[in-house]
Structure 1
Amino acid sequence: MRLPVLVFDIETITDLNAGAHLYQLHDLSQDDLQQALNKLRRQEHGSDFQRIPLHEIVCISGLWFDEKGLRLFSFNREHDSEASMLQKFLSIFEKRHPVLVSWNGSQFDLPVILFRAMYHGLSAPALFDQGEIDSQKRFNNYQNRYHHQHVDLMDVMAMFNGRNFQKLDDIAQLLGFPGKRQGAGYLVPEQVRQQAWTALAQYCEGDVLNTWLIYLRWMLLKGQLLAEDHRQLVDATIQYLATQPQQQEFLAQWQKTAQRTPFTSDFFPVQD
């Protein structure tokens, strides 16, 4: 496995101000504006899921893995504006050049980051350069689908065939991991309204952890991790999560779901 590795996920809400500007709806209240944008989107697309540029980022979570071990982190709107969160996240790529790992990051997370960084006038050449600055990035960058600098697990596990795309929650649970547990993406706007920042970070970090565990299994499948190395990394993840108070629910749920498959059933010692 090439290091460092950065597994990431974002959570978003509709940018009402940008939506009002785009559709000339400045005279509506916030609630009416949200309903109007949802109706317009249903007419355009058949669902409430907004266009990529109208997704305002409210949380970015990541798991960093290098020679020093694992570190889980989150940036959210409790302490940072969207621009500040983006600046912190993008600065990682200026300092290091990690292997980026996501679930559906090519179609959603990275395009959202691209548009929102442009919205705030930010520069991120280390993430978006495709060889114009660093000629080596012509052959391996974060955008091109068949390169390995960004591993979008949903895409690669579907063998780059959209008909085979699967949900993160389904694959996580299939493989003996916790999946979404009690959270769901539709709760994010309410968490933001209630300023439930800890719950929001826990949810986003949960997606990151599921993605990390699937990535380890993917590396095992491809022969880029030996069985003993895979087990050591799983054990290291369990030991690390035991030190993270905000992820005790994830760890407890994982202990239960691990019993559902023969391969994962011995990840945790059997309780007498």
Structure 2
Amino acid sequence: MRFPVLVFDIETLTDHQSGAHLYGLDLPEDDLEQALMKIRRQEAGTDFQRLPLHEIVCISGLWIDESGAMKLFSFSREHFSEAEILTKFLSIFDKRHPTLVSWNGSQFDLPVILFRAMYHGLSAPSLFDQGEIDTQKRYNNYQNRYHHRHVDLMDVMAMFNGRHFQKLDDIAHLLGFPGKRGIKGYFVPEYVKTEQWLKLTSYCEGDVLNTWLIFLRWSLLKGQISLSDHQLWIQASIHYLQGQPQQAEFLQIWRETSQKTAFSAKDFPSTAN
């Protein structure tokens, strides 16, 4: 495992203003969402909006450095504009060059970040350079599907075959991790509208934590860490989360779901049958 590691996830809403501009709509705000959804269904047969129209409302990450220290963080619309969220996140890559870990990041998170950064006139060569500035990036950059600077777990675990893509929630549950913690539906728009910022960041951070735990299991499979090191990382993660009050529910559900498989039951030996 190459340190530092940055596991990340984003949450988004439809950018009504950009959508209205793109399609030449002159409608009240309350009508734009339905109009944009209808257009999208006609275009692609889905409600899932085009990537450039995803406005970022939260970016969460888990930073793990060479010493094993962890830091869970979120930049959200509670305190920052979208441009400020992006600026803060992109500045990480100006200082360090972490191994980036995501779930579906190559098809969703990074393209959305690219489009929205361009929309706000931001520059991010440390993340998007493919060798034009740093020649070493030709052989190991964050965009190339088969490089290792960005590990999109959904992609690599499907062996780069879209027919094998799996949902983060399903794989997390399968391996004995919390997954979405019983949350049914996508409540991010409601969280933002009602200013439930803690729920928003907790939700995004939960996806980051599930991705981190799956990454540990993937690293064990690949032989990049030993079985004993895997257990040490699991215990370090549990210890860290015990000091994160906003993730108390995640930790409690992890304790329960870990007992569903023989291997993950070792994560909490005091509760094992």
Q: Tell me the CA shift for residue 42 of structure 1.
A: 0.8
How far apart are residue 185 of structure 1 and its match? 6.0
3-state SS of 2:94 partner = helix
Q: Shift of residue 186 of structure 1? A: 1.9
AA matched with 1:59: C
Map of 2:42 onto structure 1? 43
The aligned runs of 1:1-272 (5 Å cut-off) are 1-26=1-26, 28-68=27-67, 69-183=69-183, 186-271=186-271
Q: 1:3 to 1:184 in 2, by over 3 A?
A: farther
Is the deviation greater in 155-164 or in 182-191? 182-191
Task: Compare 184-193 and 225-234 and name the one that shifted more.
Answer: 184-193
| Helix, strand or coil at the partner of 2:265 | coil
Shift of 1:100: 0.2
CA distance in 1, matches of 2:215, 2:178: 15
Normalising by the residue count of structure 2, what TM-score does the alignment of the two structures yield?
Answer: 0.98
Name the SS for the 2:251 alignment partner: helix
Aligned-partner SS, 1:7: strand
On the 8 A contact 1:94/1:126 being kept in 2, the answer is yes
Give the aligned residue type for 1:195: E
CA displacement at 1:24 relative to structure 2 = 0.8
SS at the partner of 2:20? helix
Return the alpha-carbon distance in structure 1 between the equivalents of residues 136 and 121 of structure 2.
26
Taking the aligned partners of 1:173 and 1:243, their CA distance within structure 2 comes to: 24
AA matched with 1:251:
L
Aligned-partner Cα distance in 2 for 1:202–1:30: 28
What SS does the aligned partner of 1:159 have? coil
Aligned residues: 271
How big is the shift at 1:8?
0.1
Contact 1:255–1:268 (CA<8 Å) still a contact in 2? yes
Distance in 2 between residues matched to 1:142 and 1:183, nearest whole Å: 31
SS of corresponding position for 2:109:
helix
Deviation per residue, 1:121-167 (Å, 9 max, x gap): 00000000000000000000000000000000000000000000000
Identity of aligned residues (%): 72
Normalising by structure 1, report the TM-score: 0.98
Give 1:30 deviation, angstroms. 1.4
Q: Structure 1: which 4+ aligned runs deviate by more than 6 Å?
A: none
Describe the SS at the equivalent of 1:75.
strand
| Partner Cα distance (2:183, 2:45) in 1 | 24
- More moved, 123-132 vs 186-195: 186-195
CA–CA distance in 1 between the matches of 2:178 and 2:142? 28
Q: For 2:170 and 2:231, locate their aligned partners in 1 and report how far apart those are by CA, in whole Å.
A: 22
- Report SS of the residue matched to 2:107: helix
Which residue type is aligned with residue 44 of structure 2? Answer: H
User: Unaligned regions of 5+ residues in structure 1, if any?
Assistant: none
CA distance in 2, matches of 1:270, 1:88: 40
Shift of 1:47: 1.3
- Tell me which amino acid in the other structure corresponds to 1:98: P
User: Residues of 2 paired with 1:199 and 1:120: CA distance?
Assistant: 27
Q: How far, CA to CA, are the matches of 1:266 and 1:226 in structure 2? A: 15
Distance 2:2 2:129 in 1: 20
For residues 31 and 255 of structure 1, the distance between their equivalents in structure 2, rounded to whole angstroms, comes to: 43
CA RMSD of aligned residues (A): 1.0
**Native 8 Å contact 1:183 1:203 kept in 2:** no
Q: C-alpha separation between the residues in 2 aligned to 1:8 and 1:213? A: 13
Deviation for aligned residue 1:270 = 3.1
Segments of 5+ residues of structure 2 without an aligned counterpart are: none
